[in-house]
Amino acid sequence: MSAPLKPSSMETLPSGLTGLAADWASDQRAFKNVSWGKAMMWIFLLSDTFIFGCFLIAYMSARMSTTVPWPNPSEVFALEIGGVHVPLILIAIMTFVLISSSGTMAMAVNYGYRRDRRKTAALMLITALFGAMFVGMQAFEWSKLIAEGVRPWGNPWGAAQFGSTFFMITGFHGTHVTIGVIFLLIIARKVWRGDFDTERRGFFTSRKGHYEIVEITGLYWHFVDLVWVFIFAFFYLW
């Protein structure tokens, strides 16, 4: 007669949230080769994805359920240049600038792992400049629409929900870009001073010769760029 089986490790775990936390903490492989900074950034980006996703779903629900015609983006976001009505020209420039900043950020990460601090800092500053240009153009877009009568509760062209969804989604994204620009300037300054080579004490300073914080900043910046692609597609092109 065979000996009775011993209870598995799963049966010895506490029940409820305590057991879930204990089971997750016992995993020796999921985050073994990932730094805490990079892991926390991925978790933050995942949670932010849910927030932006909820905003876009709410926008699409409001747009499809309204009985009042939705304002035409080609007319609302048009600029008059030389007496010619050019639709979406400002949005196209904003998109080009932000996507270009993603390229300079990727180059900064590349040079960071090569420990070329001058090129890394310069490319991060260029990325921050692109981000500041984007925010500046978005501020111009907001001021233009406000001057034309767009409010969160109404607008001159159609469905009242247009203003609230526009200001909520673009404002939330613009806040992310602004925060990214601030962090880019902070990290670029540290890279330029050589804080990661001399192991100078301070916030966001990692181990000597370790430029991983540049990559972590890049993860955030690429996420902001990717979110804008969805906003551009659903809000301006639809």
CA proximity to 19, closest of 29, 28, 9: 9
Separation between Cα atoms, residue 89 and residue 179, nearest integer Å? 26
What is the per-residue pLDDT across 151-175, written as a single tens digit (0 to 9) for each?
Answer: 999 899 999 999 999 999 999 999 9
161, 67 contact by CB (below 8 A): no
Separation between Cα atoms, residue 225 and residue 177, nearest integer Å? 9
What is the per-residue pLDDT across 23-49, written as a single tens digit (0 to 9) for each?
Answer: 666 555 555 667 788 889 999 999 999
pLDDT at residue 31, as a whole number:
58
- Give kind and range of the element (H or E) at residue 85: strand 84-86
Residues in the chain: 238
pLDDT at residue 144, as a whole number:
93
pLDDT at residue 27, as a whole number:
53
C-alpha distances (whole Å) from 85 to each of 78, 79, 88, 103, 160 are 6, 6, 10, 31, 24
Sign of CA dihedral 44, 166, 163, 128: positive
pTM above 0.85, yes or no: no
92, 137 contact by CB (below 8 A): no
Q: How many angstroms from the chain centroid is the CA of residue 158?
A: 30
What is the per-residue pLDDT across 34-89, written as a single tens digit (0 to 9) for each?
Answer: 778 888 999 999 999 999 999 999 999 999 999 999 999 998 999 988 888 899 99
Separation between Cα atoms, residue 56 and residue 169, nearest integer Å? 8
Neighbours of 7 (CB within 10 A): 8
Separation between Cα atoms, residue 182 and residue 155, nearest integer Å? 33
CB within 8 Å of 95: residues ≥ 6 apart? 228, 229, 232
